[in-house]
Amino acid sequence: MSGVVKRAFKYRFYPTDAQAEELTRTFGCVRKVYNLALRARTEAWDERRERIGYDATSAMLTAWKQTDELAFLNEVSSVPLQQSLRHLQAAFSGFFAKRARYPRFKSRKKSHASAEYTRSAFRWRNGVLTLAKMPEPLDVRWSRPLPAEAMPSTVTVSRDSAGRWFVSLLCDDSSVGPLPLLDSAVGIDIGLDHLLVLSTGEKFANPRHERRDRSAQAKAQRSLCRKQKGSANRAKARIRVGRVCARIADRRTDHLHKITTRLVRENQTLVIEDLSVSNMIGNRSLARSISDAGWRQFRQMLEYKAAWYGRTVIVIDRWFPSSKLCSACGALAAEMPLNVRTWTCSCGAVHDRDVNAARNILAAGLAVTACGADVRPQRCTPGGRSATKQEIPQREPRESLVDVGEVNPAPP
């Protein structure tokens, strides 16, 4: 990977009452400007088939501030408002490139409350952070040091559903770079009974973070439903629900960070399957367990860490019959129900279903690196290149919705 890596360092902070009020007002103005610009761009296309870009919406923002109805936009820093227009432009760029769906309006209750400040709207001096429109610096808990001589390029302030305040500083981190080359490669099979099974035979247990707090979450949700809408007690109950959900998400993220960091440090090549998580959670019996496992989050972490440290991630096609294929002789079994966890091939090899799948995934990925293969790979390398996708000569019927490695999933 060339160049210096930009990393976001996230810290918790505790605002004063005046700072919390100012930031809450800023969040509302950011959301208002985003929605106004989205509506203007949508109406321009629907009525006149006219595409409006960032420059036009920026001029609109200047006009909005001069009206009596939207004069309150002048009370907050102008930088987060301009940044919201840039974020909308990025959302439209993703939509036109068919990477995302059409941008949606931000809800006061459901959208993520955040505001982004560029260098002209904050002061960073000797580890003290002060935002525009605020005379006092933020009380940040520096849980880990920033890179040496770091100068943040942007600062993002946010508040989660549990009422916690966070500040994220985007900095250049020269300490991140390619690790020493290794000759090790590993295939990774993702499941539910075990979160990960490696081609080496090692298995990572699935902590099931959501199941541990399911009763507490249900109790908090029932309490929320009993509160009158719009009341102060309902707002407090919503915070209690958010705290339970945040505790689950924090544990899951911490666990996945530890696993992905270890895998990237210990292996030069990592091979995984291209699972369609959004389609699989349509299965009502498995949706909760799949969402709790965090498969999509695992892949995202693995890919960006591999890019940081000079590793290679190969993603093989989701239709590859990894579980039904004998890793010893290559024979393909006709049937492989989910309740079959071990099976014996006609060649006499006895297979653990998940370990066998991981070995086949590794073999398919190594075939890609050697001479190309018929698994239609997506190769993610530090340089950002993608390998050529090759069509499969003959696809085998899919084993099931997904080989989740769970015989009796828990009811939702």
Which are the catalytic amino acids? 189, 273, 354
Q: What is the dihedral of CA 80, 86, 88, 90, to 10 degrees?
A: -140
**Within 10 A of 405 (CB to CB), how many other CB atoms are there?**
21
Q: Residue for token digits 């960073």? A: 124
How far is C-alpha 338 from the geometric centre of its chain's CA atoms? 29
Q: Residue for token digits 């700072």? A: 19
Alpha-helical regions (H) of 267-377: 277-280, 287-293, 295-309, 353-371
The helix (H) or strand (E) run that includes residue 168 is strand 165-173
Q: Is 388 exposed, middle or buried (0-12, 13-18, 19+ CB in 10 A)?
A: exposed
**Within 10 A of 5 (CB to CB), how many other CB atoms are there?**
17
How far is C-alpha 70 from the geometric centre of its chain's CA atoms? 34
d(CA 323, CA 333): 9
Q: Residue for token digits 């459901």? A: 110
d(CA 281, CA 279): 6
Rg of the chain over all Cα atoms, to the nearest angstrom: 25
- What one-character-per-residue DSSP string does 95-132 give? HHTTSS----PPPTTTS-EEEEEEGGGEEEETTEEEET
**Within 10 A of 169 (CB to CB), how many other CB atoms are there?**
21
DSSP at 147: P
* Widest pairwise Cα distance in the chain: 82
**Per-residue CA distances from 237 to 225, 243, 248, 260 (Å):** 9, 10, 17, 35
Please, are residues 310 and 179 in contact by the beta-carbon 8 Å criterion?
yes
Structure tokens at 13: 């902070």
Q: Which amino acid is at 121?
A: A
Could you tell me which of 359, 331, 358 has the C-alpha nearest to residue 345? 331
